[in-house]
Amino acid sequence: MTKTIVNSWNEWDPLRHVIVGRADDCHIPPEEPALDAKVPEDSDMRGQWGRRPQETIDRANELLDNFASLLTKRGIRVDRPTSIDHSKPVTTPDFHTDSQFGCMPPRDVLLTVGAEILEATMSYRCRWFEYLNYRPLLQRYWEEDPNFRHEAAPKPRLTDADYHPDYLSEKIGVAQRLKWAEEKHFVTTEEEPLFDAADVLRFGRDLVVQHGFTTNLKGIEWLRRHFPDHRVHTVNFPGDPYPIHIDATFTPLRPGLILNNPQRRLPDDQRKLFNDNDWEIVDAAQPAHNTPPPLCYSSTWLSMNVLVLDPKTVCVEASEVYQMEQMDKLGMEVVPVELRDAYAFGGGLHCCTADVYREGGCEDYFP
């Protein structure tokens, strides 16, 4: 009898097996083009780099461990990555960086589609080797599951030709950034295919991919050719001055229902797929906080970065009272999970996990 370890086609079917990241040895990486473009101009992170303070690593690990045991108690199998030494510099024939990033968040690196887990190209030099944190797990799945497809997208060269130099200036200003986002002028060029896994949402036969800082059009074309049985849709969210990773912007909760960040609405001309199939796109509730926690890359909209356990149950960060209330009104059972002190390590409840197994198969939700 063969054993299926890896199977996940969407963001909402009953979750049975998941990877939860670790804060071990996470670093604030040194300056590099793609990262600089993303760090908000008023951020406390500008100009500093190095290993994150130990007490913040310990606290984040405590929260991630608690989240993992909460999932385990609900009958979900949880695996954890093995941290590599992120203080090590990386030199390839094309670039050098003095440190790496961390083994958070797994969602950025690993894209699970059916029986396949695909390692993304990534677009930051400091994250080039991040997949190594997950290799012990992926090797094990490969040994145990004869149908598991372990894939890796072509590693990008990440020379300076990958980044638009006008994004490197110190002060760009939010107005200019919004204008560029509207024009789809992002920090990454079309030199070679680039994508982060967290720019992709899975809807059975359809993959919805955000074109932004971390994923370029060639990256989306690469995904289209790699998944010939899927339909791949490109989306943009013009209200976002730092467009990376779709999961604090557009959050499917169950078939027919998606939360959308009210500051980053999906443009009308990109709604056809959803409208034609009677999917409802509702504005997400406001975040409970006015600012992100210290040394955090993300915005306060990690409030909507939820992990759906099944179409009726959702994990929401425990301080996000408005988001919990909205979920309740939408008929979801809410599982509050404390995670805010781990946000600085790269994200919320969806980011810090990667699917291994959800029940169900590949459905066509947009026939």
Q: Under the criterion CB under 6 A, does residue 212 sit at the interface with ligand ARG?
A: no
Q: How far is the CB of 108 from ligand ARG (least distance, A)?
A: 5
Q: Which residue number, 5 or 110, has a Cβ lying nearer to ligand ARG?
A: 110
Q: Under the criterion CB under 6 A, does residue 209 sit at the interface with ligand ARG?
A: no
Q: Which residue number, 198 or 285, has a Cβ lying nearer to ligand ARG?
A: 198
Q: Under the criterion CB under 6 A, does residue 254 sit at the interface with ligand ARG?
A: no
Q: Under the criterion CB under 6 A, does residue 241 sit at the interface with ligand ARG?
A: no
Q: Under the criterion CB under 6 A, does residue 244 sit at the interface with ligand ARG?
A: yes
- Amino acid letter, residue 219: G
CA 102, 34, 221, 261 torsion-angle sign: positive
Q: How far is the CB of 44 from ligand ARG (least distance, A)?
A: 15
CA 63, 340, 306, 126 torsion-angle sign: negative
User: Rounded distance, CA 281 to CA 330, Å?
Assistant: 12
Looking at the DSSP bridge assignments, the partners of residue 280 are 257
User: Rounded distance, CA 345 to CA 340, Å?
Assistant: 10
Q: Which residue number, 145 or 358, has a Cβ lying nearer to ligand ARG?
A: 358
For residue 206, the SS3 value is: strand
Which phi and psi angles does 204 have, rounded to 5°? 60, -120
Strands 15-20 and 77-79: parallel
Q: Under the criterion CB under 6 A, does residue 326 sit at the interface with ligand ARG?
A: no
- Interface mask (CB under 6 A) for ligand ARG, residues 83-122, using x and -? ----------------------x-xx--------------
Given candidates 35, 63, 113, 248, which one binds ligand ARG under the rule CB under 6 A?
A: 248
Looking up tokens 């990033």 gives 101
Given candidates 298, 303, 313, 323, which one binds ligand ARG under the rule CB under 6 A?
A: 298
Q: Under the criterion CB under 6 A, does residue 299 sit at the interface with ligand ARG?
A: yes
Looking up tokens 């198969």 gives 361
**How far does Cα 147 stand from its chain's mean position?**
25
The number of helices, as runs of H, and strands, as runs of E, in the chain is 7, 19
Nearest in space to 111 (alpha carbons), one of 74, 82, 164, 153: 153
Q: How far is the CB of 106 from ligand ARG (least distance, A)?
A: 9
- Percent helix, strand, coil in the chain, to 5, is 30, 25, 50
The answer to whether the CB of 273 falls within 8 A of the CB of 256 is: no
Q: How many of the other CB atoms lie within 10 Å of CB of 14?
A: 16
Q: Under the criterion CB under 6 A, does residue 13 sit at the interface with ligand ARG?
A: no
For residue 199, the SS3 value is: helix
Give me the count of residues in the chain: 367
Contact region for ligand ARG (CB under 6 A) — 22-30, 109-117, 122-130, 241-249? 241-249
Residues known to be catalytic: 196, 245, 351
Q: How far is the CB of 107 from ligand ARG (least distance, A)?
A: 4
Number of residues that bind ligand ARG (CB under 6 A): 14
Nearest in space to 80 (alpha carbons), one of 56, 100, 106: 106
- DSSP one-letter code for 20: E
What are the tokens at 208? 């919805």
Q: Under the criterion CB under 6 A, does residue 247 sit at the interface with ligand ARG?
A: yes
Q: Which residue number, 145 or 186, has a Cβ lying nearer to ligand ARG?
A: 186
Q: Under the criterion CB under 6 A, does residue 287 sit at the interface with ligand ARG?
A: no
Q: How far is the CB of 198 from ligand ARG (least distance, A)?
A: 3
- Interface mask (CB under 6 A) for ligand ARG, residues 32-71, using x and -? ----------------------------------------
Q: Which residue number, 32 or 145, has a Cβ lying nearer to ligand ARG?
A: 32
Given candidates 27, 245, 254, 340, which one binds ligand ARG under the rule CB under 6 A?
A: 245
Q: Which residues bind ligand ARG (CB under 6 A)?
A: 105, 107-108, 198, 244-245, 247-248, 298-299, 301, 346-347, 351
